[in-house]
Each structure stands twice: as structure tokens, then as C-alpha cells.
């Protein structure tokens, strides 16, 4: 009986720790959401701690009125949709042949890819490469330049390998070629894996900022994350330079940024509960090395 | 004496040739058989050549006096001059130390965090509760570093950030956290490494735990092992291969600390603890246009990283028989 009492005690203890941890993970989102619906003055004076105060839609209204933001939002959607489609296509091109153990030269190609995981050219040569290719300040650079993730090629290859060879053999008997086998057997059977790979690409593209910041100068091409970065940096710089700067400006800007954050994470948060299982699966297939 | 030999030669050589020809023929038929597979590989390999290997060719500017007008191949060679300039600059030691310190504290605090979370989650019997906690802790992984940095800068803002508002409410003095070098590592590791990724990294460990043979636990219970002892003697050893592999990967990317997120959080006031080699490459190289020194610093980074992966892998193989290759 003593055993079970201590078990209960430790279960309770563990539950408390996990609840606290969840609260810490969730709180910033709740705060940002509440702040985005509150008045600027309530946020600045610290009246907003958990729930919104002086509920107003002002910051969302000013988002609607801001041109650059919608342009950036559209760009992000474009980069995500077109980029993900292109990435999946190229990933299949690599993963499918590499999943066939009969392919001559397979080991070499696999090493060719893996090597880039351990050794990279670095920022400057990568940047100069884009410059030489004439891809600076083009949408192509964002879509094509970062299309392949070696990790996802390996993930998809592992999945293709798990499909029994006998299916392929019987299709061959019926006279199907490799492309037909891929289209009519492998791709339909790999839907969960393709969804996983596509989602990981899509989230990555939705969230990426670094290379877009470096490669794109034209304001009309930048994605949301780069715009957000500019806004946040500008804001903290302003605050530093002028102390508190003119109060009205600070108020609107702060809640405006919170609202922008909400608008930018909304698509991910909305689909997240439905798609979580794919990510978990993907992490597990990809995380376990053969 | 000559004629029989030459006869032999003559009979051997054509035979060899035909052997080779047969092999070639066989290779041809194999390649023809898999022609579609090779066709698919072409765009894939081209992509790697253009976007991964061509920049490696461009790395030579680390050894050149690079001029934009002359281009990569036209610029004159200068040997190790760029490396010397980097090694002798005041930034080299400082940034190397910063890289080391951020990784060291990351290894102490951020690396074990998901292991502990996975162990705790594994002890939860209520599936609803377990799933909920997992879903919540996994969520920050999907938020971009820009937004996390935005939240952090806003929360820690000197005049009206929520943290300072709390501090003032409890009678403390407001602190300008982001401008103070002594807080940078804590802020960076806490937000970008632990808060963002603890739930995500725990998934891999949970998968490892799920792979442990349940019979081991039964046997341990029969022997009277309590929960703690089961964790210590079965769960942890069962997770060891995964822990080791992630540790190797972690050590291998030692120099690649998340410079993309450091750039978002640091400012001139905190460079002394926040600046790492890659943020320096970004600042001096890309922003300052000092391409060749930036490339030299970047190459140093890449080579050391490569060595670190190999060494870590070798060490792990020796000590635990677990390795990436």
C-alpha cells in the first residue's frame, strides 16, 4: 500500500509540473492575443495581463488599411504555395530513384547529398552564387534556391522503401514503366508521407525570413516575416532612441504589432490541431536512422 | 619462343576486350532499364550542383582578394591573408568564446530538457492529459523565429514590457534586459532553444521510449523495482541510442548555433556575449561588403564543424557503439 501512495504522490507531482510547463508555453500566445484586442493605453500601463481590457478592433482595422502588409501577406502565401509544390516535386525526383536498391550509383548520389549536410559553403559564397546566377531580388531565388531539404528526401525515401517490392514487380509484369509505377502505385500509397513532407516544407516556407531578408530588396516582393522583422526592429530602436517616444504612437504601434503577429500565425494555429499527427509521424520516421 | 607467347596474348586480349564489352553492354542495359529513374534524378542532381556545390567552388574567394568587377575566378590569390585578418581581429577570440559558451549552456540546460519532458510524459497514464500537454508544448515549434523574437523583445521591453511591469508591481527596478550582455545567453537559450523546441524534441525521445520492450518492465516489477528504478535501469538505457545520436548531431552543429535567431535578438550593446562567428560573417561580410574575410570566417566555421561531426561520431562509436555511419 505504501508503494501505491508514493506512486500517487509522484503522479500528482508530475501532473503539476506538466501543467505549469504547458502554461508557460501557452501564456505568450494568450497575452499577445489579448493585447491585440485591447487598447494601446491598457497594454502600455500593464492592465492587460491575461484577458483583454477596453476591447477594441482598432489594431485589426489599421492592419486592413495598411497596404504593405497585405502585399507581404500575399507574397508569403505565394512563396508557400508555389515553393511547396516545387519542393515536393524535386524531393520526389530524388527520393524515388534513391529508394530503389537496384539503382546503379545510388550510394554515390546518397553520399553526394549527405555531404552537404556535414559541409556547407556558408553565407557569403551562397549569396554570391545567387548574385552570379542573376537571382538577386527575384521571386525565383526564394522558390528555387531553397527547394530541397536533405532531411525530407531521406524521410520520403524511407517511406518509399517501406512499400513492398512485390507491388512494383506485379505492375512490371503488366508492362508498366517506372513513371507509371510511381504515379499509380507509389504516390497514392504515400499520401500520408507526402502530406507530412509538404506540411513541413510549407511551415518552413511560411516562417522563413533570413534569406528573403538578404536576397530581396524590393518592398513589393518581401514576405510577411521580413516585414514583421522590420517593424519589430524599428519599434525597439525607436523606443531606445527616444526613451518612451510619443505616447500615442507607441500605443498604437505596440498593439498593431501584436495584431500582426496574430494575423501571421493564425493559419498555422488553425490547421495545427488537425495536422499535428502528420508532423509527429514525420519527425519519427525522419528521426530514426537506419 | 616468341610465337607461342604472342599467340597467347592474342587469344587473351580479345577475350579481355569482349569481357569489358560485355560488362559495358550489361551496364548499358541496366541504365536503359532504369532510364526513367535516372531521368528523374537529373533535375534533382542539377539542383544540388547549382545551389549546394557551386557555392563550394565560390569558397575560393576566402583565399583571394575579391573584387566584384573581376569576379570569383578573376580575382588574385592572396593565400591565407584573409584568414590571418580574421584570426587577428578582436572578434575572433570573442566570437569563438561566445559560440562555445552558448553551446555549453545549451548542452547543460536545453539538451536535457526534452529528455526530462519525455520521461515525465511517459509517466502520465491519462491519455487525454498527455496528448493535451504534448499539443501545447509542441506548438511553439511552428512559430517563426521572427515572431518569437518579437514576443521576447516586447515582453522584455524596458518601459512597458510585461516583465518589467511585473517587476515594478512587485516593487523592483525596471531592467533593460535586451541591452545587458549578462542576460543574453539566458534569454536566447530560454526562448529559442527551450521554449521553442522542448516539445518538438521530446517527440523523438517518446518514440524511442515507445520502442522499448514492455517485457523488461514486467520483469523489473517482478523483481520489485519501483517507478524511479524502472526509469533509471530500463527507460534511460533504452533511450540511450537516440540520446547519443542527437548529441552527435548537436556537437556537429556546434558552430552553427542559431545565428538567424541571434541576429533578431542581439544589439550592439550585447555583442560582447551574443556575437558568434556566423553573425559576424553576416555583419562584416554581407552587410559590410567585406566578402573575402566573411568567406574565410565561414570556411573556418564549416571545416571545424565537419571535423567536429567526425570526431563526435568516432568518440560515440568507441564509447557506446552508436554512430551515424
Average pLDDT, chain B: 86
% of residues, chain B, pLDDT over 70: 94
Q: Which of residues 35 through 94 in chain A touch B, CB cutoff 8 A?
A: 43-46, 49, 90, 92-94
State yes or no: pLDDT of A89 exceeds 90: yes
Binary contact (B136, A177; C-beta < 8 A): no
Q: Which of A235, A264, A288 sits opposite B147 (nearest CB)?
A: A264
Burial state string for B252-267 with b = 16 or more CB within 10 A and e = fewer than 16? bbbbbbbbbbbbbbbe
Of A156, A148, A161, A147, give the one whose Cα is nearest residue A191: A156
Residue B227 touches partner A, C-beta closer than 8 Å: yes
Binary contact (A3, B162; C-beta < 8 A): no
Q: Which of A119, A133, A273 sits opposite B306 (nearest CB)?
A: A119
% of residues, chain B, pLDDT over 90: 28
Per-residue confidence band for B178, with pLDDT thresholds at 50, 70 and 90: confident
The whole-number pLDDT of residue A289 equals: 43
Distance of alpha carbon B42 from alpha carbon B36, whole angstroms = 10
What does the pLDDT look like over A113-139, one tens digit per residue? 888 888 888 899 999 999 999 999 999
The whole-number pLDDT of residue A18 equals: 94
pTM of the predicted structure, to 2 decimals: 0.86
- Other Cβ atoms closer than 10 A to A233: 17
Per-residue confidence band for A273, with pLDDT thresholds at 50, 70 and 90: confident
The whole-number pLDDT of residue B1 equals: 42
Top pLDDT among A275 and B278 is at: B278
Lowest-pLDDT range of A179-183, B37-41, B63-67: B63-67
- On whether the CB atoms of residues A54 and B170 are closer than 8 A, the answer is no
Distance of alpha carbon B153 from alpha carbon A240, whole angstroms = 12
What does the pLDDT look like over B217-226, one tens digit per residue? 889 888 888 8
Residues of B in contact with A235 (CB under 8 A): 153
Residues of B in contact with A250 (CB under 8 A): 160
H or E element in which residue B293 lies: helix B291-320
Distance of alpha carbon A15 from alpha carbon A25, whole angstroms = 15
State yes or no: pLDDT of B72 exceeds 70: yes
Residue B158 touches partner A, C-beta closer than 8 Å: yes
Phi-psi region of A46 (alpha: psi -120 to 50; beta: other; left: phi over 0): left
State yes or no: pLDDT of A212 exceeds 60: yes
Residue range B85-100: mean pLDDT, rounded? 89
Residue corresponding to grid cell 536533405: A150
Distance of alpha carbon B220 from alpha carbon B224, whole angstroms = 6
Give the residue from B73, B133, B154, B311 with the most A CB atoms within 10 Å of its CB, the best one to mutate: B154
State yes or no: pLDDT of A19 exceeds 90: yes
- On whether the CB atoms of residues B193 and B110 are closer than 8 A, the answer is yes
Amino acid at each position: 500500500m505504501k508503494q501505491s501512495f508514493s506512486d500517487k504522490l509522484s503522479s500528482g507531482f508530475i501532473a503539476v509540473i506538466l501543467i505549469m510547463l504547458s502554461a508557460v508555453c501557452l501564456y505568450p500566445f494568450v497575452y499577445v492575443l489579448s493585447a491585440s484586442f485591447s487598447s494601446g493605453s491598457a497594454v502600455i500601463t500593464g492592465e492587460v495581463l491575461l484577458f483583454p481590457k477596453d476591447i477594441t478592433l482598432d489594431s485589426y482595422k489599421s492592419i486592413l488599411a495598411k497596404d504593405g502588409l497585405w502585399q507581404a501577406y500575399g507574397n508569403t502565401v505565394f512563396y508557400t504555395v508555389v515553393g511547396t509544390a516545387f519542393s515536393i516535386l524535386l524531393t520526389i525526383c530524388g527520393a524515388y530513384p534513391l529508394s530503389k536498391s537496384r539503382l546503379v550509383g545510388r550510394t554515390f548520389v546518397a553520399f553526394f547529398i549527405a555531404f552537404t549536410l556535414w559541409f556547407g559553403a556558408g553565407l557569403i559564397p551562397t549569396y554570391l552564387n545567387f548574385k552570379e546566377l542573376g537571382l538577386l531580388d527575384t521571386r525565383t531565388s526564394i522558390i528555387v534556391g531553397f527547394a530541397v531539404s536533405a532531411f525530407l528526401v531521406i524521410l520520403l525515401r524511407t517511406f518509399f522503401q517501406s512499400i513492398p517490392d512485390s507491388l512494383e514487380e506485379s505492375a512490371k509484369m503488366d508492362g508498366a514503366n517506372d513513371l507509371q509505377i510511381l504515379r499509380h502505385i507509389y504516390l497514392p500509397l504515400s499520401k500520408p508521407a507526402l502530406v507530412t513532407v509538404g506540411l513541413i516544407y510549407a511551415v518552413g516556407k511560411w516562417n522563413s525570413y533570413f534569406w528573403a531578408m538578404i536576397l530581396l530588396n524590393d518592398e513589393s516582393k518581401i514576405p510577411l516575416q521580413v516585414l514583421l522583422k522590420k517593424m519589430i526592429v524599428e519599434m525597439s530602436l525607436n523606443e531606445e532612441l527616444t526613451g518612451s517616444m510619443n505616447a500615442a504612437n507607441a500605443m498604437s504601434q505596440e498593439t498593431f504589432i501584436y495584431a500582426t503577429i496574430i494575423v501571421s500565425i493564425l493559419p498555422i494555429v488553425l490547421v495545427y490541431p488537425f495536422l499535428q499527427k502528420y508532423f509527429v509521424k514525420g519527425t519519427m520516421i525522419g528521426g530514426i536512422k537506419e | 619462343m616468341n610465337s607461342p607467347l604472342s599467340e597467347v596474348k592474342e587469344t587473351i586480349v580479345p577475350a579481355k576486350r569482349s569481357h569489358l564489352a560485355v560488362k559495358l553492354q550489361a551496364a548499358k542495359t541496366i541504365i536503359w532499364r532504369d532510364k526513367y529513374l535516372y531521368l528523374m534524378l537529373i533535375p534533382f542532381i542539377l539542383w544540388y550542383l547549382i545551389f549546394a556545390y557551386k557555392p563550394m567552388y565560390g569558397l575560393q574567394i576566402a583565399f583571394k582578394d575579391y573584387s566584384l568587377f573581376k569576379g570569383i575566378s578573376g580575382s588574385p590569390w592572396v593565400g591565407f591573408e584573409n584568414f590571418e585578418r580574421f584570426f587577428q581581429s578582436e572578434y575572433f577570440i570573442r566570437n569563438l568564446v561566445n559560440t562555445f559558451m552558448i553551446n555549453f549552456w545549451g548542452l547543460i540546460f536545453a539538451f536535457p530538457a526534452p529528455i526530462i519532458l519525455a520521461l515525465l510524459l511517459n509517466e502520465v497514464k491519462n491519455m487525454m492529459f498527455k496528448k493535451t500537454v504534448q499539443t501545447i508544448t509542441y506548438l511553439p515549434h511552428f512559430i517563426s523565429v521572427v515572431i518569437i523574437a518579437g514576443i521576447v523583445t516586447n515582453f522584455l521591453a524596458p518601459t512597458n514590457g510585461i516583465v518589467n511591469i511585473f517587476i515594478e508591481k512587485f516593487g523592483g527596478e525596471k531592467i533593460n534586459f535586451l541591452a545587458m550582455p549578462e542576460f543574453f545567453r539566458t534569454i536566447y537559450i530560454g526562448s529559442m532553444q527551450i521554449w521553442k523546441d522542448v516539445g518538438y524534441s521530446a517527440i523523438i525521445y517518446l518514440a524511442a521510449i515507445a520502442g522499448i520492450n514492455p517485457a523488461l518492465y514486467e520483469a523489473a516489477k517482478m523483481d520489485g523495482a519501483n517507478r524511479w528504478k524502472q526509469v533509471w535501469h530500463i527507460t534511460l538505457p533504452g533511450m540511450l541510442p537516440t540520446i547519443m545520436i542527437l548529441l552527435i548531431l548537436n556537437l556537429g552543429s556546434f558552430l552553427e548555433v542559431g545565428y538567424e535567431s541571434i541576429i533578431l535578438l542581439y544589439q550592439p550593446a550585447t555583442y560582447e556575449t551574443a556575437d558568434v562567428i556566423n553573425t559576424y560573417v553576416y555583419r562584416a561580410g554581407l552587410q559590410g561588403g567585406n566578402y573575402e574575410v566573411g568567406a574565410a570566417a565561414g570556411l573556418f566555421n564549416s571545416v571545424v564543424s565537419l571535423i567536429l561531426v567526425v570526431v563526435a561520431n568516432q568518440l560515440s562509436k568507441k564509447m557506446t557503439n552508436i554512430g551515424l555511419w
